[in-house]
C-alpha cells in the first residue's frame, strides 16, 4: 500500500470505532467504485430514494448509479422544472426510505458536522427518512470538532460558493467572514453526535479524496 492508503485506513479504523460507539453503522471502502457498489446493495428494490446536493455523490458515481436503477422510486430535484417542483421534492424526500448525502466533515471522535444553506439536507439527516446513507472521502475527517467547523467554513463553503456562483466574501477571499450576505450558504450548523435510532445513519468512508 502507498503511505496515503495506509494513512487513510489507519485513520478510518480510529474514526469508525468512535462512530460505532455513537450508534452509527460504519463501512470502509478503498475506492469510490467499491463504495457505490456497497451503497447500492444496501437499498432494496421498491424503495423510495432521494439525495441532497453533493459533489461526493456526483464524483463517486453514486448519483448516476441511483438514476440508472429502474427498481426504485427516485426523487431527483435535477428533474424538476420549476422552483415549486423543487420544493415539493424537498418535502417528499423527508418521507423517503433512503436518503443519500455526504457530510461536510466528520471528526475522528465520531461526530458529523454539516453547514447548510436552505436546511433541506440537514433536515433529512436529522429526521424523516427511514435510513440515511452517507458517502464521505477520508479528506473529510478532521481531528477535532473545532477543526471540522474551520474546515467547512474555510474550505468547503468557499468552494461551494464558487461552484454555485454565490456573491459572498468567502467566494472572493477563500476565507470565512461570518457573513450575513443574501447569498450566504451557511444558515444552519448541525453537529450529529449520535445516530438515533441506532444504525439509522449509515456511513461509508472512502479511501480517496472526494468532494469539498
Q: What SS3 state is found at 104?
A: coil
- What single-letter DSSP state applies at residue 176? -
Contact by Cβ (8 Å): 209, 52: no
Average model confidence (pLDDT) across the chain: 97
CA distance 193 to 190: 10
Contact by Cβ (8 Å): 210, 139: yes
* pLDDT tens digits for range 39-90: 999 999 999 999 988 999 999 999 999 999 999 999 999 888 899 999 999 9
For each successive 10 residues of the chain (212 residues), what is the average pLDDT?
94 98 98 98 98 95 97 93 92 97 98 96 97 98 98 96 96 96 97 98 98 94
CATH code of 3-142+192-206, in short, is 3.40.50.10420
Q: Which three cell numbers stand for residue 34?
A: 467499491
Contact by Cβ (8 Å): 203, 25: yes
Question: Can you give the residue ranges of every domain in the chain?
Answer: 3-142+192-206
How many Å separate Cα 156 from the centre of its chain? 12
The CA–CA distances, whole Å, from 10 to 3, 21, 34, 75 equal 11, 17, 18, 36
Amino acid at each position: 500500500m502507498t503511505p496515503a492508503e495506509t494513512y487513510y485506513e489507519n485513520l478510518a479504523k480510529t474514526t469508525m470505532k468512535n462512530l460505532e460507539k455513537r450508534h452509527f453503522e460504519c463501512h470502509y471502502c478503498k475506492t469510490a467504485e467499491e463504495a457505490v457498489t456497497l451503497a447500492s446493495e444496501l437499498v432494496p428494490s421498491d424503495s423510495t430514494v432521494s439525495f441532497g446536493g453533493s459533489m461526493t455523490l456526483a464524483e463517486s458515481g453514486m448519483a448516476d448509479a441511483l438514476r440508472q436503477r429502474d427498481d426504485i422510486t427516485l426523487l431527483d430535484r435535477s428533474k424538476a422544472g420549476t422552483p415549486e417542483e423543487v420544493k415539493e421534492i424537498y418535502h417528499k424526500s423527508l418521507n423517503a426510505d433512503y436518503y443519500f448525502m455526504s457530510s461536510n466533515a466528520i471528526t475522528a471522535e465520531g461526530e458529523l458536522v454539516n453547514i447548510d444553506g436552505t436546511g433541506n439536507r440537514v433536515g433529512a439527516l436529522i429526521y424523516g427518512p427511514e435510513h440515511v446513507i452517507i458517502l464521505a472521502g477520508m479528506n473529510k475527517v478532521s481531528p477535532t470538532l473545532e477543526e471540522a467547523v474551520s474546515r467547512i467554513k474555510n474550505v468547503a463553503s468557499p468552494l461551494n460558493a464558487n461552484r454555485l456562483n454565490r456573491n459572498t466574501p468567502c467566494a472572493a477571499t477563500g476565507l470565512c467572514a461570518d457573513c450575513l450576505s443574501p447569498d450566504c450558504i451557511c444558515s444552519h450548523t448541525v453537529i450529529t453526535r449520535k445516530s438515533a435510532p441506532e444504525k439509522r445513519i449509515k456511513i461509508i468512508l472512502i479511501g480517496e479524496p472526494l468532494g469539498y
